[in-house]
Structure 1
Amino acid sequence: MSGRAQLMWDQAVTGYDFGRDHPMDPVRLGLTRKLVEAFELDRHMDVVAAQPAGDSTLRLVHREDYIAAVKAASADPRAADQSYGLGTLDDPAFAGMHEVSALIAGQSVGAAEAVWRGSALHAVNFAGGLHHAMPAGASGFCIYNDAALAIARLLELGAERVAYVDVDVHHGDGVQAAFWEDPRVLTISLHEHPATLFPQTGWPQETGAAEGSAVNVALPAGTGDEGWLRAFHAVVPELLADFRPQVLVTQHGADTHFEDPLAHLAVSLDAQRAVQVSCHDLAHEYADGRWIALGGGGYAVVEVVPRSWTHLVAIAAGRPIEPTTTIPESWRQEVYARTRQLGPARMTDGRWPASWADWEDGYDPADRLDQAVLATRKAVFPLRGLLA
């Protein structure tokens, strides 16, 4: 195994564009790539453009009729079939939609192949993490589920245990659905409570047909750094220690942030970075370092997303950026040129170091966060032979 990290990148992924005024503005991808470049991280990892996922690869997760529907809508957006979730407010059809969606999927599949075969220890596709797409339908700004496709490719290559950890503010419903009956895949999602946020799934009682293979932590709206980190560390490390994955796949949607316009958690950039570091460390502790890190949601496209995912790339590259670091002026000029907004000045929200209380240090039955964590532990841990 080379130990060198890969950044999966093809400029054409910025064509994943649902149109003006849609929250998923592709400028977030371009600005992230430019910030990675400004910190010269690409000099310390291999930058690789993988081929688009072909039909046989897409069929590892998606139904053939759905792929055909995406192709038809891609060729003529007016022909979008809403019964497949296409041509809706969330997922408007656009010309070339199939091609760019397959390209993003191809980057995640390429990351999986590189990590499994040993040409890279870590691989990052921050354009990926499109975790809502279902086998037979688009959902939540997601056309093809690159995260599920990467996992399916790992299984095809011979992996027997793959863990997926999703810290996007929204439930990783599409990945959970893809592997609901497969005990080879452990899916763990920490997200805002389904009572207050799309997709209204991800209850603690959703534990998989292969019981204990799906794990859901439904966090109360308003959860901030300490609670978010407490929940992560109360659930994820113990489950990974039990499951012993051969590969760890993580999804790092930046929409948990307190400035994100589409959700209601209150997490800082500094806590997001702390979880990224933990995912890296957990990959080394339990998966021989094999780590595939994906992007996801995130709609504060200037202030939050580029900084969060640049931290992710830096950690994967073995060149972590100190949170107090000043952002290069060249990038801030790029931000203004593209958006007419002023970019942030530092790689922190001023909440570093992020801290939390361990689960063993005082469960409070009156605390809503602790109630949420306990609900998950009670639902899942006994199924895996662990103490709740």
Structure 2
Amino acid sequence: MNAKATFIYNEKQTAYRFNDTHPFNQQRLVLTADLLRAAGALPEEAISDPVSADEAKLLAVHSAEYVAAVKALSEASPAEDWLRRAEQYGLDTEDTPCFPGMHEATAAIVGGSLLAVDEVMTGKALHALHLGGGLHHAMPSKGAGFCVYNDAAVAIEHAKRTYGVRILYIDTDVHHGDGVQWSFYTDPDVCTFSIHETGKYLFPGTGGVAERGAGEGFGTTVNVPLEPYTEDESWLECFKDVLSRTAAQFKPDLIVSQHGCDAHAFDPLAHIHCSMEIYREMPRFIHRLAHQYCKGRWVALGGGGYDIWRVVPRAWGLLWLEMSDHPIIRELELQPGLRLPEAWLARWQPRSPGPLPETWLDPVDAWEPMPRRREITEKNRHTKELATLYLP
């Protein structure tokens, strides 16, 4: 596989910050980049510096009224009239409160995802990773779920309009990728696939198997909602089986994937009990699909992930190791207990609120098995059968 990959990153993206106590903490970008540098896996020549998206690109997905509201609520002291109207734009909630500089910070994130598409589609890179992106809950006229602008949807629309490609969007976040799904629900040239914890118990409450697209887009929406406390084996069985059939039917020209890493057992905002193994295996599977169907064209984005110390740097690190075909990813096959770089552990352990893991993968053999494992697995298999009802 061609290992030509670009890492789109700028520490200024940590400016996307709601407040000091909010769970969405972009310090995880710094932790991840530092881990990869310490591992010798992120040379400076692999890094591309993004620029902000212009308003025309935002307006391809978001309404002019919403963009105006975001701008107005980004002021250090927004006008009272805009503050009173913030509710109708979803920007006054505990999850997604407006903050100074919000428009500029989010437009910069959108710009990174647009650059990822351009790098891949113009052949400058075979694969592109933009961990600052993946804000998949924002709607055309409303912010939601920690997301102000939907960079994934804007990047997909840009790929369609500029390069005329069919896009398979793969969302691995534990929360349903609702904003992207609804943006392309009737579009036959965009297939959205989302594996997530069932919305019966978790935000945003959508993503059932009956959501399959509408009109000309019927059949191009695929959802795999899994039971709480699902573990690695069941998660990966459902992911691989449904996604392989989805890709075979849709035959994309480009894959855009979202890599929220909040399905890990340590994540505080969900109830799935997976280990770092799924964050090694899912990128590997997507990588193969990209070469099978898209001549390798693969854009990957970040997403959720709220244990920023124990989970996110390792999960996103494994993603980049796979995309760049770094030797460490192969070494893990022979040494599952391979240690993280000592320099990284020494640098960040004093700042971490608890002990950092010392290995890339988790010692799952020492974990206590989940009760009801068999019942959960069977329920997930039934969901898998429903999800593939219209797939070959």
Name the SS of the counterpart of 1:154 in structure 2.
helix
Residue 181 (str. 1) matches residue 194 (str. 2): no
Check whether the contact 2:106–2:149 (CA below 8 A) recurs between aligned residues: yes
Q: Tell me how far apart the structure 2 counterparts of residues 298 and 365 of structure 1 sit (CA, whole Å).
A: 23
1:77 deviates by 5.7
Post-superposition CA distance 1:40-63 (Å, at most 9, x none) = 222286200121111001111111
The residue that corresponds to 1:372 in the other structure is 383
Kept after mapping to 1: 8 A contact 2:227/2:376: no
Counterpart Cα distance in 1 of 2:94 and 2:380: 33
Correspondence for 1:137 among 139, 142, 145: 142
Equivalent of residue 218 in structure 2, options 211, 218, 236 = 211
Mark the CA change 1:335 to 1:365 in structure 2 (over 3 Å): closer, same or farther.
Answer: closer
1:105-184 alignment, distance < 5 Å: 105-184=110-189
Distance 2:3 2:282 in 1: 21
The residue identity in structure 2 corresponding to 1:23 is: P
Name the structure 2 match of 1:335.
348
- State which of 192, 196, 199 in structure 2 corresponds to 1:191: 196
* Cα offset, 1:350, TM superposition: 2.2
Amino acid aligned to 2:342: E
Counterpart secondary structure, 2:349: helix
* Corresponding residue of 2:245: 238
Distance 1:371 1:108 in 2: 35
2: CA distance, partners of 1:185 / 1:225: 28
Per-residue deviation at 1:366?
8.7
SS at match of 2:185: coil
Task: Give the equivalent residue in structure 2 for 1:74.
Answer: 74
Rounded to whole Å, the distance in 2 between the matches of 1:26 and 1:3 is 27
Deviations 1:242-278 (A, max 9, x none): 2111111111110000111000111111122111111
Give the aligned residue type for 1:345.
E
**SS of match in other structure, 2:194:** strand
2:207 aligned partner:
202
Quote how far apart the aligned CAs of 1:340 are: 4.8
TM-score scaled by length of structure 2: 0.91
Structure 2 residue corresponding to 1:287, chosen from 279, 290, 294: 294
* Residue 284 of structure 1, CA deviation: 0.8
Contact 1:262 1:299 in 2 (8 A): yes
CA contact (8 A) 1:3 1:120 kept: no
- Conserved 8 A contact 1:87-1:93: yes
* Inter-partner Cα distance in structure 2 for 1:306 and 1:371: 33
Pair 30,248 (structure 1): closer, same or farther in 2 beyond 3 Å: same
Determine if contact 2:39/2:341 at 8 Å carries over to the other structure: yes
Task: Measure, in 2, the Cα distance between the counterparts of 1:77 and 1:215.
Answer: 43
Question: Per the alignment, in what secondary structure is the counterpart of residue 43 of structure 2?
Answer: helix
| 2:23 aligned partner | 23
**Equivalents in 2 of 1:232, 1:21: separation in Å?**
33
Gap change, CA 1:60 and 1:349, over 3 Å in 2:
same
**What's the offset of the Cα at 1:337?**
4.4
The corresponding residue for 1:100 is: 105
C-alpha offsets along residues 43-89 of structure 1, whole Å, 9 cap, x if unaligned?
A: 28620012111100111111111111111111146544121011210
Contact 1:131 1:146 in 2 (8 A): yes
Q: Deviations over 1:86-122 (max 9, x none)?
A: 1210011111111111111110110001101111000
- 1:225 counterpart = 2:236: no
In structure 1, C-alpha distance between the alignment counterparts of 2:3 and 2:65, rounded to whole Å: 40
Q: Within 2, Cα distance between the matches of 1:104 and 1:338?
A: 26
Task: Name stretches of at least 5 consecutive residues in structure 2 with no aligned partner.
Answer: 366-374
Q: Please state if 1:326 is matched with 2:339.
A: yes
Superposition deviation, residue 282 in structure 1: 1.0
Equivalenced residue count is 371
- In structure 1, the residue matched to 2:307 is 300
Which of the numbers 247, 257, 265 marks the counterpart of 2:254?
247
Which residue in the other structure is 1:61 paired with? 61
The SS at the match of 2:74 is: helix
CA contact (8 A) 1:258 1:266 kept: yes
SS at match of 2:32: helix
Normalised to the residue count of structure 1, the TM-score between the two structures is 0.91
> How far did 1:365 drift?
12
Q: Where in structure 1 are there 5+ consecutive unaligned residues? A: 353-363
User: What letter is aligned with 1:151?
Assistant: I
Moved more, 319-328 or 85-94: 319-328
CA distance in 2, matches of 1:345, 1:215: 37
Contact 1:165 1:251 in 2 (8 A): yes
| Aligned CA distance change for structure 1 residues 325 and 70 (closer, same or farther; 3 Å) | same
Kindly tell me: are residues 159 and 45 of structure 1, through their superposed partners in 2, closer, same or farther at Cα, counting changes over 3 Å?
farther
Q: What value does the CA root-mean-square deviation take over the aligned residues?
A: 2.0
Alignment deviations for residues 279-336 of structure 1 (CA, whole Å, 9 cap, x no partner): 1111111111000011100111100001000111111111043243211122113323
In the alignment, what sits opposite 2:370?
none
Distance (whole Å) between structure 2 residues aligned to residue 44 and residue 286 of structure 1:
30
Partner SS state of residue 313, structure 2: helix
Distance in 2, Cα, partners of 1:368 & 1:176: 24
- Separation (CA, whole Å) in 2 of partners of 1:64 and 1:111: 24
The answer to whether 1:315 aligns with 2:322 is yes
